[in-house]
Structure 1
Amino acid sequence: MKYGIELRHLHYFVCVAEELHFSRAADRLGMAQAPLSQQIRLLEERLGTKLFRRTTRRVELTPAGEIFLRHSQEMLGGLDRAVTHTRSISGEKSGTISVSGVHLALSHVLPPIIRDFRKSYPAVTVDVQVLGTAQQLQLLQANKIQIAFIRSTNPAGFFKTERVLQEGFVAVVPIDHPLAKKESLLIKDFAGEPIITYAPTVGASYYHAIMDALRRGGIHPVIVQEVSHTLAISTLVAAGVGIAIAPSWLAYNPSPYLVYKPLPEIPQEVELLVAWHAEEQSRVVLDFLDLARGSRQ
């Protein structure tokens, strides 16, 4: 490897960085402490900078060490994904696949998919992370994730998508609000009410669906705050800042301060898509996608 740095050096460094203790790191690696310390010093010499500050009481990362840790974890993670792809094409059923999704995907869509996937691939680790659509597409294009559960977005040549589900909306109101006594709400009920909604640059599909519904109902919304996440909406409504319209999945998150009311006037028009790289060939990933397709709602 260029600069004389080998993968084992990265493993050693990451282990010490995670433990911040040379003796514990050596035990974890199954080696003596002295050769581990020697390898870290050699790595520092080849990098030309100190990675750790060592005292008699503690070990801590230097600023350079913190940066190198992020790069090392990224390189080792990339190697793991490369091994998984290679093994899956050759028929081996082990390794790791990286799956990401918006909040709804992680809380309501992915659990049964992963459960069924593990029946066929018990030795494959599914690395899961919650991310927004834009960040997911960046990672998908860089081959840092294999499967993304995203909101509708402009098409691009590097990925393919299929719809997994469509969802509607609910009204979110404080439990002591007069509207909380009604069975369901109409758009006209929002007239004159302080409204919490999404910022137009984030949660774009939610924002446009909500604003379009209010306009169709002849409502000029009194927007008191814009937020970037659905859970922030529920927090602010519970605090009495205003009322809101939110995706229906929020109703599965009960709160002692809130009630959720159906909004039949707003169609179920917000999509959740599963996306994958257009040139994906891994049998493991393609089998995961087949399960995702079977979960359509």
Structure 2
Amino acid sequence: MELRQLHYFLTVAEELHFGRAAKRLQMTQPPLSQQIQQLENELGVLLFKRTKRHVELTKAGTTFLEGVTRTLEQLNQTIDSSQRAQRGEIGKLEVGFVGSATYDILPPLIREYQNQYPNVELKLQELSTPNQINELDHQKLDIGFVRPPIQGDAITSEIIHETPCILALPKHHPLTKEKEIQVSMLQNQPFIVVSRNIWPELYDDIVALCRNEGFSLQIKQEATEYQTVIGLIAAGIGIAIVPASMKNYSVKDVVYREIANANLTAKMAIAYQKDRLTSEAGNFIKLIRKLK
């Protein structure tokens, strides 16, 4: 039994006329009649009662029609699902992110992706950059939102977002009286920083900024994410240079000031294994590039 024979049978059953059915199928009547007869012989049942003027389904034909209709509907659904899976419209996407990504680029991106691909199961994991690279290496993540630079021979990365850095201070710190902070004013101030192994590029940039002004950065406390940094600032532990997007992280007793001529920026990158990029991940990356 061949799939085309089922389509032939269904068309004849709908038309109850071999001539009209043959026309719909864009074939001549004799080959169609032969195919139906061959199907009947294979099944061992008579599907149609035929006269010179009339064609009707037999009882066996009616039963077979019900089954064929269900089968073809299921097959069409399966084909459609397979095609959608290949296009990345259904499936699963594992995304890692650093916590600070939730204050700028990530929320609108996730909303838009879910609007466009509602049948993709999206799983999000908050992880540090090193942990995301490890998960990507072990194929446990499809895409990571990370802080560059990225190490790893199999990992591809690209900068997708860049934001200026500002100074975050406790509410009652003397420097809050200044409208704009000069770098020289940061000398001897207790700093809270995100650890170098978590975000080496920005850490080194901050150290270099102070060194270029002739003093060393006084590190009072290190943290793994900027949410923690902001919390420690609110507690009066010290001050910090943070991405401007952290102003969206509303915390009482923390104020922000511009730093004159600092030219510090915080970069966000996406990282992925190019050689194992799924359709779902490919669609996600296209959307990132469109929205950035």
Amino acid at match of 2:173: H
Inter-partner Cα distance in structure 2 for 1:90 and 1:196: 47
Counterpart of 1:256 in structure 2 is 252
Counterpart of 1:65 in structure 2 is none
- How far did 1:175 drift? 1.0
User: Structure 1 residues 90, 203: closer, same or farther in 2, change over 3 A?
Assistant: closer
Say which SS state the counterpart of residue 149 (structure 2) adopts.
coil
Inter-partner Cα distance in structure 1 for 2:165 and 2:86: 45
User: Structure 1 residues 232, 243: closer, same or farther in 2, change over 3 A?
Assistant: same
Q: 1:239 aligns with which of 235, 239, 243?
A: 235
1:275 counterpart = 2:271: yes
**Cα pair 2:165 2:266 within 8 Å, conserved:** no
Say which SS state the counterpart of residue 226 (structure 1) adopts.
strand
TM-score of the aligned structures, taking structure 2 as reference length: 0.66
Extract unaligned runs of 5+ from structure 2. Answer: 1-81
Say which SS state the counterpart of residue 188 (structure 2) adopts.
coil
Counterpart of 1:289 in structure 2 is 285
1:163 counterpart = 2:173: no
- How far did 1:130 drift? 1.0
Spell out the pairing of 1:145-160 with structure 2 (5 A cutoff): 145-160=141-156
Q: 2:191 aligns with which of 179, 195, 198?
A: 195
- Identity, % of aligned positions: 24
Q: How many positions carry a matched residue from both structures?
A: 211
Q: 1:215 aligns with which of 211, 218, 227?
A: 211
Inter-partner Cα distance in structure 2 for 1:264 and 1:295: 30
1:226 counterpart = 2:222: yes
Inter-partner Cα distance in structure 1 for 2:176 and 2:123: 40
Once the two structures are overlaid, the 10-residue window that deviates more, 204-213 or 246-255, is 246-255
Counterpart of 2:6 in structure 1 is none
User: Structure 1 residues 257, 92: closer, same or farther in 2, change over 3 A?
Assistant: closer
Inter-partner Cα distance in structure 2 for 1:281 and 1:191: 47
User: Structure 1 residues 118, 181: closer, same or farther in 2, change over 3 A?
Assistant: same
- How far did 1:194 drift? 2.2
Say which SS state the counterpart of residue 124 (structure 2) adopts.
strand
- How far did 1:113 drift? 1.7
User: Structure 1 residues 212, 293: closer, same or farther in 2, change over 3 A?
Assistant: same
TM-score of the aligned structures, taking structure 1 as reference length: 0.65
User: Structure 1 residues 146, 235: closer, same or farther in 2, change over 3 A?
Assistant: same
Residue deviations 1:25-49 (CA, integer Å, cap 9, x gap): xxxxxxxxxxxxxxxxxxxxxxxxx
- How far did 1:103 drift? 1.5
Amino acid at match of 1:104: S
**Cα pair 2:100 2:227 within 8 Å, conserved:** no
Inter-partner Cα distance in structure 1 for 2:109 and 2:193: 31
- How far did 1:229 drift? 2.3
Amino acid at match of 2:259: L
User: Structure 1 residues 116, 176: closer, same or farther in 2, change over 3 A?
Assistant: same
Say which SS state the counterpart of residue 104 (structure 2) adopts.
helix
1:129 counterpart = 2:125: yes
Once the two structures are overlaid, the 10-residue window that deviates more, 209-218 or 249-258, is 249-258
1:116 counterpart = 2:116: no
Residue deviations 1:200-220 (CA, integer Å, cap 9, x gap): 333222211111111112223
- How far did 1:87 drift? 7.3
Amino acid at match of 2:170: P
Say which SS state the counterpart of residue 168 (structure 1) adopts.
strand
Say which SS state the counterpart of residue 107 (structure 2) adopts.
helix
Amino acid at match of 2:136: L
Residue deviations 1:252-271 (CA, integer Å, cap 9, x gap): 11222110111242224432
Inter-partner Cα distance in structure 1 for 2:230 and 2:240: 8
RMSD: 2.1
Inter-partner Cα distance in structure 2 for 1:92 and 1:205: 34
User: Structure 1 residues 222, 163: closer, same or farther in 2, change over 3 A?
Assistant: closer
User: Structure 1 residues 125, 218: closer, same or farther in 2, change over 3 A?
Assistant: same
Amino acid at match of 2:183: I
1:181 counterpart = 2:180: no
